[in-house]
Amino acid sequence: MSARMSPSLCQGLVVSGLTAGHRPRTPVVHDVSFEAPRGRVTALLGPNGAGKSTLLKSVLGLLPHEGHLRLGDTDLGALAPRDRARHLAYVPQRTLLTARLSVRAVVELGRFVHRGPLGSLQRADHRAVDAAMEVARVAELRDRPFPELSGGEQQRVVLARALATGARCLLLDEPTAALDVRQVLHLHEALARLAEDDHTIVVVLHDLAEARQHAHHAVLLHEGRLHARGPVDRIIAPRTVREVYGVDLVEGAGLGWRIPGVGQ
Amino acid sequence: MRPPGDGPCPCVRDPVHRAPPSRPMSRAHAAWFVLLVLLLLGCAAALQVGEGDLSDAALRATFLSLRGWRLANALLAGAALSVGGVLVQGLFRNPLASPSILGTTAGASLGGVLVLVLWNSLLLGRVPDWLPGELLLPIGCLAGAWVALGLLLATTGRRPGIVAVLLTGFILSSFFLSLGGLLSSMAQETWELGRAVVAFTLGGVDTKGPRHVAIALPMVLVGTAVALGWSHHLDAMLAGEEEAASLGVDVVRVRRWVIIWTATLTAAAVAISGGLSFVGLIVPHALRPFVGETHRRLVPAAFVGGATFVVWADVIVRLVPSRGHVPLGVVTGLIGGPVFLFLLARAQREGRLA
């Protein structure tokens, strides 16, 4: 690893020696260490069952785990779950929310830890909610009932909920799996803007082409262990892809996409 | 018109952030207005209707006071069951859950019967000096309700599906009813005890007085206050335990306290009214389209709505032309059963039972 990525200098998310699983005695993830730099999108890659979601959820504190977790200067392991939620925000592959809450009410759920003793939202909370809805481009949906939205719109609302928490590190679990190609591009465009705004983004992705197009760094898991980490172009390479996925990478194959008029 | 009951709505001073949709808000206002009118009418009717002639000046005060306490018990029982319904529906993320369907009511009822029987057989009707006799029944109900909810959660595991929860609740309910039946047939050996047990299990507030109110009132008020206090936690848990935990909710703690207070509310209702089925199911369900699903608004509406429903059911009990006495639980069941079937059928059609 280069000096730039060494834990002492990295201002993003630092995972060292993480072992985790749904049951403490039978871990799914073994001794994984990596750094997700601040201001960058880091893709978490690996075949089905490699432990990507388990890793993400244990970083969030949703699963039992051992090892050290740091975000910038903050030792996440020392924090109570409520305080960890101030630093990390989660976007699941698909939310389980089916209640008829308005979009704004869903985004307001992101302010949970910031609510006062009586549970009311302050002016700062409303500003954070508005700003999050702007960034995730759901401001115009604010009064719509959440269950009536399309999958892509729901995913943007959940992203807005994550942004409303004010956390500087976003962890996304296959957020694009249920989206069409246009929605995928919009989501990645939002993530890129957040990264430019100095957020730390860790996103589990299935599609290697998508990862190579949109992520800066990659962490490749194989059978619960770290296989490789580094700049995404170096990780998604013929040798690693063959070793981990058992397929040959065909350079120049596949289709590329972009939103008309945005970027070149 | 801004009904006084709308107080809990989180009013935002900044005009830009005023609770957005004007139509749903006015729907909520209309619902509150209708609720309060129905409640007032129900209270008036409950004082006017029933055995006894109010024109007799000598007995008028006595009749009114009897009906007044009966009314107070009906209000409390309805409010408790309805708020309990909101709590379990939030906990299981399932609008089809309610204390009666989950077997909590049957458990509380069994606990009450058990106490009645034990008190008469083991203690021969005597109570230790330090224990007021009126507390025996609520203690039994409380223990029964806690055991029932505990058993339900122990059998269904951490992430139960809707069908598993409903089936387990049904089985527990039947089992508790069988046990209750066994106890009550054993109790028939003593005529008075048998009568007391049957009267208790059938449910009703007709013989309930100030002592029952004094026992139930604190439980119901504290339970409702706790439900309001947990309202944002329960809102977050609508998105499932994992997402709620990622938002900073201490899911294990919320789960534990919600269970304890649901059981307590149910026990309070059962102790003063016997088993009233379906109140906790249909009242929150009827209110959601009007006041919305956020618990800050749903809990107060359910409190008033449940009270209104049971008060009217208790008025109907007195209006039914019958020689004997129609139990209150029969009336709520007759209304609630068909409504529940309709809801279940609709959920099945819309594929929400999977």
The structural domains of chain A, with segments of one domain joined by +, span: 7-245
Q: What pLDDT, on a 0 to 100 scale, did the predictor assign at position B87?
A: 94
- Return the amino acid letter for A66: E
Residue B266 has a pLDDT of 92
Query: Residue B49: what residue type?
Result: V
Q: pLDDT-based confidence at B212, cuts 50/70/90?
A: confident
Contact by Cβ (8 Å): B213, B66: no
pTM of the model: 0.85
Q: H or E element: which one contains A74?
A: strand A74-75
Mean pLDDT of A196-211: 92
For residues B147 and A167, give the distance between their C-alpha atoms in angstroms, rounded to a whole number: 41
pLDDT over threshold 90, residue B231: yes
Q: Over the stretch B122-142, which tens digit does the pLDDT of each residue have?
A: 766 666 666 666 677 888 898
* Cβ neighbours of A139 (radius 10 Å): 16
Please list every residue in chain B whose beta carbon sits closer than 8 Å to the beta carbon of residue A130.
17
Which site among A76, A112, A140, A143 would you substitute to test the B interface, given the most B Cβ atoms closer than 10 Å to its Cβ? A112
Q: Encode pLDDT of B76-88 as tens digits.
A: 999 999 999 999 9
Q: Which residue, A249, A180, A168, is CA-closest to A208? A: A249
3-state helix, strand, coil in chain A (%, to 5): 40, 20, 40
Model pLDDT for residues B35-47, shown as the tens digit of each residue: 999 999 999 999 9
Contacts of B25 in chain A (CB under 8 A): none
Q: What pLDDT is recorded for position A4?
A: 44
Q: How far apart are CA B65 and CA B78, in angstroms?
A: 20
Q: Does B243 sit within 8 Å of A92, measured CB to CB? A: yes
Of B120, B110, B143, which Cα lies nearest the Cα of B275? B110
| Chain B nearest-CA residue for A95 | B239
Q: Which of B239, B248, B293 sits opposite A81 (nearest CB)?
A: B248
The mean per-residue pLDDT over the stretch B61-90 comes to 92
Predicted confidence at residue B160, as pLDDT, reads: 64
Answer yes or no: do B240 and A57 touch at CB < 8 A: no
Res A89: pLDDT:
95
The mean pLDDT value for B234-259 works out to 90
CA neighbor of B245 nearest in space, from A83, A234, A73: A83
Instruction: Count the neighbouring beta carbons within 10 Å of the beta carbon of residue A29.
Output: 27
Spell out which residues of chain A touch residue B245, defining contact as CB-CB under 8 Å. Answer: 60-62, 81
Superfamily of domain A7-245 in CATH is P-loop containing nucleotide triphosphate hydrolases (3.40.50.300)
Q: Which residue from A218, A212, A219, A220 is spatially nearest to A257, judged by alpha carbons?
A: A212
* Least CB–CB distance from A126: residue in B17, B238, B250: B17
Contact state of A99 with B293 under an 8 Å Cβ cutoff: yes
- Give CA separation, B144 vs A190, A237, B228, in Å: 53, 63, 25
Does residue B225 sit in helix, strand or coil? helix
User: 3-state DSSP call for residue B27?
Assistant: helix
Query: What digits encode the pLDDT tens for the residues B307-319?
Result: 999 999 999 988 8
Q: Cα–Cα distance between B73 and B67 in angstroms, integer?
A: 10
Q: Output the pLDDT for position B129.
A: 62
The chain B residues in contact with chain A (CB within 8 A) are 10, 12, 14, 17, 20-21, 93, 229, 231-233, 235-236, 238-240, 242-243, 245-250, 288, 292-294, 296, 352
pLDDT (0 to 100) of residue A7: 43
- Specify the CATH architecture of the domain B75-344: Orthogonal Bundle (1.10)
B321 or B73, greater pLDDT = B73
Cβ-Cβ contacts under 8 Å, A121 against chain B: 10, 12
Give the residue-averaged pLDDT of B269-282: 88
> Between A129 and B259, where is the model more confident?
A129
Q: Name the 3-class secondary structure at B233.
A: helix
Indicate the pLDDT class of residue A163, thresholds 50, 70 and 90: very high
Are B21 and A109 in contact (CB < 8 Å)?
Answer: no
> By CA distance, what is B10's nearest residue in A?
A120
pLDDT at A14: 93
Residue in A57, A81, A97 nearest the CB of B238: A97
Higher pLDDT, B354 or A14: A14
> How high is the pLDDT of residue B100?
83
Calculate the alpha carbon distances from B239 to A100, B19, B264, B290, B351 in Å.
11, 21, 26, 21, 18
State percent of chain B over pLDDT 90. Answer: 35
- Give pLDDT, residue A161: 96
Give percent of chain A with pLDDT exceeding 90.
Answer: 55
Least confident of A198-212, B49-63, B107-121: B49-63
The structure tokens listed for B42 are 């129900």
Mean pLDDT for all residues in chain A: 88
Q: Is the pLDDT of residue B54 over 70?
A: yes
pLDDT (0 to 100) of residue B125: 60
Q: Kindly list the residues of chain A whose beta carbon comes within 8 Å of any beta carbon in chain B.
A: 57, 60-62, 81-86, 88-90, 92, 95-102, 104-105, 109-110, 112-113, 115, 119-121, 123, 126, 130, 142-143, 161, 165
User: Is the predicted pLDDT of residue B305 greater than 90, yes or no?
Assistant: yes
Which 8-state DSSP code applies to residue B6? Answer: G
